[in-house]
């Protein structure tokens, strides 16, 4: 990914509340930029690039399902070469939440996050 293209023309799309952090979703040309900040140091953070093909694939594959986990998404998206690990899958889900296509289901008390896909 070209850094110059990454930073050019990002548009804020929304945010996703995780169990510990808030994830901010920005849209670029053909990708989403998922950003979060460390709770212990607000000047530091984390970012991940999520390709639009990956969000489109997951949205199509899991539309209408509830209780979807990053592990579920990874199992399906890995075969389609859309995610290389559970962290990729989780960020795809956060992007979908920020875009309004999914929501975090906070009714579950397990360690894993569960998502409901629209």
Beta pairing partners, 25: 14, 34
Q: Is 46:36 a contact under the CB 8 Å cutoff?
A: yes
CA dihedral 17, 23, 27, 30 (to 10 degrees): -100
Residue 112 main-chain phi, psi, to 5 deg: -70, 150
The token pair at 85 is 């690990």
Domain extent for 78: 3-117
Answer with the residue of higher pLDDT: 35 or 112.
35
Domain count along the chain:
1
- For 17-51, the pLDDT digits (tens) are 988 899 999 999 999 999 999 988 889 999 999 99
Q: What is the CATH number of the domain that holds 93?
A: 1.10.10
- For 46-101, the pLDDT digits (tens) are 999 999 999 999 999 999 999 999 999 999 998 888 899 999 999 999 999 999 99
The token pair at 25 is 């979703």
**Rounded Cα–Cα distance for residues 13 and 91 (Å):** 14
């Amino acid at each position: 990914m070209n850094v110059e293209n990454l930073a050019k023309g990002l548009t804020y799309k929304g945010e996703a509340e995780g169990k510990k952090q808030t994830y901010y979703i920005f849209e670029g040309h053909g990708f989403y930029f998922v950003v979060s900040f460390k709770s212990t140091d607000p000047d530091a953070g984390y970012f991940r690039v999520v390709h639009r093909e990956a969000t489109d694939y997951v949205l199509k594959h899991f539309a209408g399902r509830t209780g979807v986990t990053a592990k579920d998404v990874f199992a399906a998206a890995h075969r389609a070469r859309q995610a290389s690990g559970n962290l990729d899958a989780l960020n795809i889900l956060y992007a979908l939440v920020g875009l309004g296509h999914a929501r975090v289901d906070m009714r579950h008390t397990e360690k894993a996050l569960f998502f409901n896909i629209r």
